[in-house]
Amino acid sequence: MIGSNFILLIFLILLQFLDSCFSLPLCTDSRAPSTPKAKLDFCSNNGTSCCNNADDLRLKKQFESMNISDSDCASLLKSILCARCDQFSAEIFRVDSIPRPVPVLCNSTISANSTQSGQAKNDFCSKIWTTCRNVSVLNSPFSGSLQGRAGAPVVLNSTKLTEVWQSQKDFCDAFGGASDDESVCFNGEPVTLNSTGIPSPPSGMCLEKIGNGSYLNMAPHPDGSNRAFFSNQQGKIWLATIPNEESGETLELDESSPFLDLTDEVHFDTQFGMMGIAFHPKFSENGRFFASFNCDKAKWPECGGRCACNSDVNCDPSELGNDNGAQPCQYQTVIAEFTVNDTASQPSMATKAKPSEVRRVFTMGLPFTAHHGGQILFGPRDGYLYFMMGDGGGTGDPYNFSQNKKSLLGKIMRLDIDTTPSAKDISQLGLWGNYSIPKDNPYTIDADLQQEIWATGLRNPWRCSFDSTRPSYFMCADTGQDQYEEVDVITKYGNYGWRVYEGPSVYTPPTTPGGNTSAKFTSLIFPVMGYNHSDVNINEGSASITGGYFYRSMTDPCLYGRYLFADLYAGAIWAGTENPISSGNFSSNKLNFTCASDSPLKCNFSPGSSFPALSYIFSFGEDNNKNLYLLTNSGVYRIVRPSRCKYECAKEKDVKIESPGPVSSPPSKASRSRGPCKSLLALLSLLGLLLLNFV
């Protein structure tokens, strides 16, 4: 009989391939669609678009230059040009190493065993061929579009489709994409998604306590084992073994023997400390890892770097008032690289790291003593290091750093830590350390943008994550000022509004000593979820959001596919549900939660309590089995089977990937599934049922 562990392993591996089935609305340049300032004149839109008014004018001129005499053909070709503006254009153009000038045209085929005749449903490619094949079109988007591809015809100065392609089959083989196998394709209309209604929220979330320590970060061991790294704010990292659920065991972690101790370098205070850890994707081979922390240059000379308040961003440090007795840029934010090389024969077997830095990747002086984020993550697709940075502090971002394109404050940065820059590059580019700039960073779109920047307009991003199943979903929680805590979907070149907006509302800062230096906004991206301060019971007089993860474990199938986040002070946890799938449209509900009576460690609250005393919820964590953890001031809690807390979840007895409705079901044939997804989801469902035999 096949072992349950083996089935679970295959199940989890296949889940990773579901990314090819789902992606949120994105444009061909990886940016998020936005709402144009004015209604588009040529490519009419009823909301968000991948085109601005300048793009719309360019497409109009391109269409006019085509000089199409046949009105029916002209209408079809206009829709093809305007597909570039569709909010799912990245999907229908399927951008790869050879950019496509036209979208993938729906090309339905008749099955060999079909007895019916006639044109198959959604056969847009055939419609193009039939209507336009003998129409003269100047500067046709089809002409020469396949040059350089194997087997593609090359006919220069062609104006008719029949001058290049011998038949409809040849044409549609070149430009079509099957729709009868549920591929994503363009049928002449904007891509739409099916909504099946918002499902009922889970009845509750069950926790077990497996550790008493207070940690700020958790990172699964890159070797895929049941081990994980935990770090605290004071500056220590430990390597721990995570027990199996229902084993009755606790986190195996020796507090007296840390993996790395940086407490001599780290400046620890309420707003300072070790803020992030990230292990290189090839850590098991190269032993490289990174730590993000704060230091005090008054106590540690190696700490110092240049100040984030400088002439480049129209900020004079001498004009900044003292903040809690500190001088401007006395405290720094640092990213340093470390290694386990020479501490074990194989990096994955190392239990200790070398205490000295391999290199200083990044150093920047902070103008105030708050809002400096500090989390670091490796992108699962690109392997680059993402660095989350707050606006530097001060009520209302008084110097408007978040909207200043030359400032790195209030930004998410994207760094290449695998390509070593020359001293000349560091000097000429004005880098803040020893890293390189990815060639596709947004500065290529906006020359005024500092080259490290990936996204702008954040106040203090506190805990971000990539969805392990759909890496295009990069979620960040951003702490609010007075009224609103928000969750954002981070995309390339996205501007999330602070300090012009706090969440969905216009914000007016109390003072603006640095002047009003707001950029001229072409677009802003508003939160997909969040909550007002008035909606939560605040223990400390202020709300502060803690971002989490999409839940991708089948331990609690009623949570599968929902994004979990919390409030640091309020003891509240929310589950966000996307509907329709891949739309980027979310709703959220507060979760009831309690502790299992058979928890390995006694919880600080009783089962059924309406307000569990989790203390401060610092962070969430995810292990290699996709189980989620809450890292709190009172200990480490793991999400477990709902029935252990007597919560009802019918799916716990009938595990199917498609069972949570729009949370985890693939889009229907009328929406956006791809062919391989149908078979993959069927296989995943079968594996889920097999797993039930071992429960």
Three-state secondary structure along 177-189? ECCCCCCCCECCC
- Contact between 94 and 30 under an 8 Å Cβ cutoff? The reply is no
CATH 2.120.10.30 in the chain, residue ranges? 220-624
Could you tell me if 695 and 689 are in contact, meaning their C-beta atoms sit under 8 angstroms apart?
A: no
Residues 6 or more apart in contact with residue 373 via CB below 8 angstroms: 275, 387, 388, 389, 390, 458, 460, 461, 462
Contacts of 9 (CB under 8 A, 6+ apart): none
Question: Sheet of 205-211: strands edge to edge?
Answer: 593-595, 205-211, 635-640, 628-632, 617-622
Cβ pair 123, 130 in contact under 8 A: no
| DSSP line for 181-234 | TT---B-SS--------PPPPPS-EEEEEEE----SEEEE-TTSSSEEEEE-TT
b/e for 202-231, b at 16 or more Cβ within 10 A? bebbbbbbbbeebbbbbbbbbeeeebbbbb
CB distance 290 to 311 below 8 Å: no
Count of other CB atoms within 10 angstroms of residue 652: 18
pLDDT of residue 618: 96
- CA-to-CA distance for 196 and 32, rounded, in angstroms? 24
| 258, 243 Cβ separation under 8 angstroms | no
CA-CA distance, 241 to 223, in Å (whole number)? Answer: 13
Rounded distance between C-alpha atoms, residue 509 and residue 612, angstroms? 36
Per-residue pLDDT at 513? 86
Q: What is the pLDDT, as a whole number, of residue 345?
A: 77
CA distance 294 to 303: 9
Convert the pLDDT of each residue in 283-332 to its tens digit.
999 999 999 999 999 999 899 899 999 999 989 998 886 666 678 899 99
What per-residue confidence (pLDDT) applies to 157?
64
CA 434 to chain centre: 25
Paired strand residues for 105: 176, 186
Tokens of 107: 């090309």
User: Is 581 in contact with 22 (CB distance < 8 Å)?
Assistant: yes
User: CA-to-CA distance for 377 and 414, rounded, in angstroms?
Assistant: 10
- Please tell me the distance from the alpha carbon of residue 603 to that of residue 605, in angstroms, as a whole number: 5
User: What DSSP assignment string belongs to 433-497?
Assistant: SS-B--TTSGGGT-TTS-TTEEEB--S-EEEEEE-SS-TT-EEEEE--SSSEEEEEE--BT-B--
- Predicted local distance difference test score (pLDDT) of residue 91: 86
Residue type, 505: S
CATH 2.102.10.10 applies to domain 220-624:
no
Looking at residue 542, what is its pLDDT?
75
Distance CA(398)–CA(515), nearest Å, equals 8
Q: Which of 85, 83, 86 is nearest to 105 (CA)?
A: 83
Determine the pLDDT at residue 109: 58
Residue 430 is classified by DSSP as: T
Which residues of the chain carry a pLDDT beneath 50?
1-2, 8-9, 11-20, 110-121, 145-155, 179-182, 519, 607-612, 656-682, 684-686, 688-695
pLDDT at 108: 75
The angle that helices 675-692 and 4-16 make with each other, rounded to 10 degrees, is 160
> Measured between alpha carbons, how far is residue 571 from residues 497, 568, 591 in Å?
27, 7, 11
How far apart are the C-alpha atoms of 118 and 116, rounded to whole Å? 7
What's the token pair of residue 338? 């470390």
Report the half-sphere exposure of 614 (CA within 13 A, side-chain side).
Answer: 31
Report the distance separating Cα 445 and Cα 27, nearest Å.
13
pLDDT at 96: 56
Tokens encoding 482:
């007075």
Element (H, E) at 374: none
How far is residue 452 from each of residues 115, 365, 463, 609, measured CA to CA in Å?
59, 16, 20, 46
